[in-house]
């Protein structure tokens, strides 16, 4: 299920907030609600360009599904590459602490990987 949450300001940027979660019609009550909560992902799109600004979700300990550990991916520094907008900076926050900060200097799309690289051989 995808839900339009609406416009917001996030980290000083105007964004459109959309939430997505999986539905579990075969389950009932608390189990269905827990499973829906565990699959929720919040998507934030730049209000002007509609490019992804951030994606936020929770991860959980193997032994405690009720303990939410926030994870957020932030995308910025978009540049046009072969007609597509690519984020040249990607940051990953775990429990509100910066865990990864990738900054790219170049990108290439469809740059010569042959179709045969994706085929499965008969001997495999």
Per residue in 11-20, pLDDT (tens digit) is 899 999 999 9
Residue 123 placed within a domain: no
d(CA 76, CA 55): 12
pTM: 0.82
Containing structural domain, residue 67: 2-118
Q: How far is CA 22 from the centre of its chain?
A: 15
d(CA 19, CA 68): 17
Report the pLDDT value the prediction gives residue 123, as an integer from 0 to 100: 54
Count of the separate structural domains present in the chain = 1
Residue 36 placed within a domain: yes
Residue 20 placed within a domain: yes
pLDDT interval class at 49 (50, 70, 90): very high
CA distance to 40, 66, 69, 77, per residue, from 63 (Å): 19, 9, 13, 38
On whether the CB atoms of residues 73 and 54 are closer than 8 A, the answer is: yes
What is the average pLDDT score of the chain? 91
Report the pLDDT value the prediction gives residue 16, as an integer from 0 to 100: 98
Coil vs helix vs strand at 78: strand
Residue 68 placed within a domain: yes
Residue 18 placed within a domain: yes
Residue 124 placed within a domain: no
Q: How do residues 32-47 score in pLDDT, each as one tens digit?
A: 888 888 889 999 999 9
Report the pLDDT value the prediction gives residue 23, as an integer from 0 to 100: 85
Produce one character per residue of 22-36: b if its CB has 16 or more CB atoms within 10 Å, e if not: eeeeeeeeeeeeeee
Residue 83 sits in a domain whose CATH number is 2.50.20.10
């Amino acid at each position: 299920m995808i839900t339009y949450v609406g416009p917001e300001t996030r980290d000083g940027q105007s964004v459109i907030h959309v939430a997505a979660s999986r539905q579990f019609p075969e389950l009932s009550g608390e189990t269905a609600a827990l499973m829906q909560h565990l699959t929720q992902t919040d998507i934030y799109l730049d209000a002007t360009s509609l490019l992804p600004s951030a994606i936020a979700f929770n991860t959980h300990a193997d032994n405690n599904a009720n303990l939410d550990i926030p994870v957020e991916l932030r995308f910025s520094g978009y540049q046009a590459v072969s007609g597509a907008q690519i984020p040249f900076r990607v940051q990953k926050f775990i429990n509100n602490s910066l865990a990864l900060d990738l900054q790219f200097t170049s990108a290439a799309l469809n740059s010569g990987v042959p179709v045969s690289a994706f085929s499965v051989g008969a001997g495999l």
